[in-house]
Amino acid sequence: MTNKINRLDRRDMLRGSLAVAGLAALGVPEWALPALAQGETLVPFTDLPTTINLAPTPDRRVLDIRTIDGPFTPKDQFFTTQHYGHPEVDPATFRLRVSGLVDRAASLSLDDLRQLGGAELIAGFECSGNRRPLQGLSSNGRWTGVPLRAVLDRARVKPQAREFVFFGADRGQEEVEFRTQKYTVEQQFGRSLPRDLALAPEPFLAYALNGEPLTRHQGSPLRLIVPGWYGVANVKWLAQIHAQEDQYLGKYQARWYRTLRGETIDGEIKWVETAIAQMQLKSFIARVTRDLTRHNVRGVVLNDGTPLRSVEVRVDDGPWQRATMDPATSSKYSWKLFTYMWSGATPGEHALVSRATDVNGTVQPTSEELDSKKTFLEDNTQFPRKVMIS
């Protein structure tokens, strides 16, 4: 899949100002012209294909990454995607049910949760399907809410509870296949966490984003945020937390969110399927602007919260150059913004690529290095972004 997209990029390359028309053709209304400082102009990307249909549906909003100019994504630009549309949940009558293997089953109103809460978490995330060339299924927020732990402690989890299932208020008809049979049944969106993760300090129940109540798109009135994980873990319109002994094998837990890749184990290729969980280390270039003397290359890093060692940018086949990190995005689970000042750009088309390295020595892979990954989720490959310098 990665290779296929690479080929598309080359074939469908647009030139100069045509790239702007290409954006309009994508039909993404949120792609607006970013606010620029005086004397600063936007340098168009020339690698936006016209053949990939990314027209928005009422369910999907893509962040225009070129407009990123602060640490937090405004609520009306925060990307959004989900499987069953946006249910409407009345915050006044809302109750979060806590059920299953707990001593004190509960039904908590927003006020009950506020009394337990008032904590803050800065966390960014991307959809596991986020990838080139738009990279717009990613955002960063300042969340207000309650650590999940506080709610589970209050419910007194029994020792047998090994799995915690988080159900959204959204539901849909799903076909469940079993051998030669197909059963159509109504399913609630559900995701689970094993006990050690559910009871860890990080998972968070959020009722506000950037200081305001969640919008319907973001899962009003309450959602789960699992910091450092791909978006699918962050169950919106959270309705129920159910503690159980068995593994939860719902569609979006056990089937849809899977990656198939070949791994060399003891000199032999083994085809391994893994679940979508923590975000893979990724960086991408979001915006290039020019002022009178030089170009400013800005970008984003997302990962599982492991501290970074470096972020570097390379122009064409030149040397890797260190980028500067934005101190406003230094907290553990925030996305990290970086800038690189590019001097001496020559007219013509150039490829700009970034790569992030964390303190464990994990380096963001090239697309060749990720060649053995078959399915398209978790594409964290280095992304050479093309620009036209006039």
Ligand X SMILES: Nc1nc2c(c(=O)[nH]1)N[C@H]1C(S)=C(S)[C@@H](COP(=O)(O)O)O[C@H]1N2
Q: Does 2 bind ligand X (CB under 6 A)?
A: no
190: β partners:
167
By a kind-dependent CB cut-off of 5 to 8 A, residue 320 interacts, out of Mo ion, ligand X, none, with none
Residue with smaller CB distance to ligand X, 204 or 340: 204
The region of 80-88, 103-111, 171-179, 382-390 touching ligand X under the rule CB under 6 A is 80-88
Q: Does 388 bind Mo ion (CB under 5 A)?
A: no
Name which position in 2, 46, 67, 82 contacts ligand X (CB under 6 A).
Answer: 82
Name which position in 46, 67, 80, 289 contacts ligand X (CB under 6 A).
Answer: 80
Residue with smaller CB distance to Mo ion, 190 or 231: 231
The region of 38-46, 81-89, 261-269, 370-378 touching ligand X under the rule CB under 6 A is 81-89
The region of 66-74, 152-160, 235-243, 346-354 touching ligand X under the rule CB under 6 A is 235-243
Least CB distance to Mo ion at residue 234 (A): 9
Judged by CB under 6 A, the chain residues 200 through 219 that form the site for ligand X are 217-218
* Residue 133 preceded by cis peptide, ω within 30: yes
Write each residue from 84 to 113 as x if it is in contact with ligand X (CB under 6 A), else as -, in one continuous string. x-----------------------------
Q: Does 146 bind Mo ion (CB under 5 A)?
A: no
SS3 string of the chain? CHHHHHHHHHHCCCCCCHHHHHHHHHCCCCCCCCCCCCCCEECCECCCCCCCCCCCCCCCECCCHHHCCCCCCCCCCCCECCCCCCCCCCCCCCCEEEEECECCCEEECHHHHHHHCCEEEEEEEECCCCCCCCCCCEEEEEEEEEEHHHHHHHHCECCCCCEEEEEEEEEEEEEEEECCEEEEEEEEEEEEEEHHHHCCCCCEEEEEECCEECCCCCCCCCEEECCCECHHHCCCCEEEEEEECCCCCCHHHHHCCEEEEEEEECCEEEEEEEECCECCCEEEEEEEEECCCEEEEEEEEECCCCCEEEEEEEECCCCCEECEECHHHCCCCCCEEEEEEEECCCCEEEEEEEEEEECCCCECCCCCCCCCECCCCCCCCCCCEEEEEC
Residue with smaller CB distance to ligand X, 131 or 295: 131
Name which position in 108, 127, 169, 241 contacts Mo ion (CB under 5 A).
Answer: 127
**Around 80, how many Cα atoms within 13 Å sit in the side-chain half-sphere?**
23
Write each residue from 71 to 110 as x if it is in contact with Mo ion (CB under 5 A), else as -, in one continuous string. ----------------------------------------
Least CB distance to ligand X at residue 263 (A): 25
Judged by CB under 6 A, the chain residues 59 through 78 that form the site for ligand X are 78
Are the C-beta atoms of residues 187 and 250 closer than 8 Å to each other? yes
By a kind-dependent CB cut-off of 5 to 8 A, residue 168 interacts, out of Mo ion, ligand X, none, with ligand X
Q: Total residues at the site for Mo ion (CB under 5 A)?
A: 3
Q: Does 377 bind ligand X (CB under 6 A)?
A: no
Judged by CB under 6 A, the chain residues 125 through 144 that form the site for ligand X are 127
| The two three-digit tokens of residue 305, written as one number | 């919260």
The residue sitting closest to Mo ion, measured at its beta carbon, is 127
Q: Does 232 bind Mo ion (CB under 5 A)?
A: yes
Residues that bind ligand X in the complex, under the rule CB under 6 A: 78-84, 127, 168, 170, 189, 217-218, 231-232, 234-237
Residues that bind Mo ion in the complex, under the rule CB under 5 A: 127, 231-232
